[in-house]
Structure 1
Amino acid sequence: MCGRYSLASEAYNSFIEFMDMGYPFKVPSRFNIAPSQPVAVIRLKGSDKDQAIIPDAPLPEREGALMRWGLVPHFAKEIKNDRPLINARSETIADKPSFRGPFRRRKCLVPADGFYEWKRDGASPIPYHICLQDHAPFTFAGIWEAWTGPNGDDWLETVSLITKPANGVVKKIHHRSPVIIEPQDYDLWLRPEDPPDRKIFDKLSTDIDLKLEMYEVSPFVNNARNDGEECIKPASKDQFKLF
């Protein structure tokens, strides 16, 4: 599971510059992004219009968008906030009714510069921040969906992050980790496929998983209402443990 992550505005700016996208919109520095909040997403232009899929055709340009984290299926009669669909498993994404449509046509990239996981050891879970060793921004694999209210007067775009069995440092504390997309795989991931390529996850590079580092942070991050750099600071100088 991936239930919190971070994205500083400097990291977002670096990512947008790398993507050669100009400046789609401003994002504030956020160190404790939580479900149901608006998040920055990169998708293909026109992917919100269900255009016909042309095999091997050049991909459209990419664009930035803001979406709510927690996918709402297009067939939902109402928005339920009790258990938002924040993650989709790579093993079952092609089969689950809520995810299979977006997996065919609405894949996206979600920029981040780190994410959190909790080690369930003892009375209280211990939070860890996980990021690249050079602290550079990266992208999660995501899928998104558009929901229209029953009367046609509500419109909402929402996103889920893809997870897979954990490996590398993440496996030391949790059995799941987010799918991270390397730059050379952006087009591979974003291209619509109908029927979907069920083996796409085997084609994605996992080298980036070996470039992650992890360290314990303060329980301050446990509360989703808390934000600021305190969320990503090591718990103490003596506890700064890199794995």
Structure 2
Amino acid sequence: MNRDVVAYLRCPVCHETLGTTGRTLRCPRGHSFDIARQGYVDLSAGRSPHTGDTPEMVAARDAFLAKGHYEFVSAALADAAAGAGGLAVDVGAGTGQHLAAVLDGDPGLVGLALDASKPALRRAARAHDRAGAVRADAWGRLPLADHDTAVLLDVFAPRNGEEFHRVLRPDGLLLVVTPEPDHLTELVDALGLLRVDPDKEDRLAASLDRRFVLERRQSLRSTLRLDRAEVAAVVGMGPSAWHREPAAIDLATPVEVTAAVRLDRYRPR
């Protein structure tokens, strides 16, 4: 675990600072948390009600992202975060690819990947040499100090407005990526995948507007040309994977698919 990252962490039990002793993180009150051999540490304190993405979903995500299909999203995040310095936290980080791009874009940042999925964290822990990986519940109290985080990334992940506001610096930056209504529309129509919730916009506003000011809204779009394996991967890594077996996909490929997301940039009130 990167020691520069550990300095920003807090004990999930008593909220005291954490230090590194061998392969253990320990607070002054004696609460200790072992660093897994894969490099991540579990700071959920048993409070996470879910296990996150399965190994199969994580493998599909890794395979799809490795093809560079979402690099346009990573690049936009890196551009927005450049110059912030300090700690960048990716909530629901998955394999850590977006976080790694942000760190590459700003040598003054160190990174923390937060996720509930142990299979994801095993990959995220190796995503960048200036990053650490921690298991935590995005809906609970994050194991971070008050007002000490420079950048928060939230890419298709839960938005805990109260906690985001608590951990961000007064001059901090919250970057939220959400799917547009036509995101992956060709696959949604052809395969009957889950659609973007039409009430999502209202829920996003309700979760953030009281604590954050929207500074900028940016539309990001790309046309992806996917072969059969890539179609199976994008289905297998998303929410439809809980309802559909990727191996059962019957679709003529290659197919051109619209990738359409929105990047919202917020500052704390």
Q: TM-score if structure 2 supplies the norm length?
A: 0.27
Task: Say which structure is richer in helix.
Answer: 2
Name the structure, 1 or 2, with higher relative contact order (CA <8 Å, separation 6+). 1
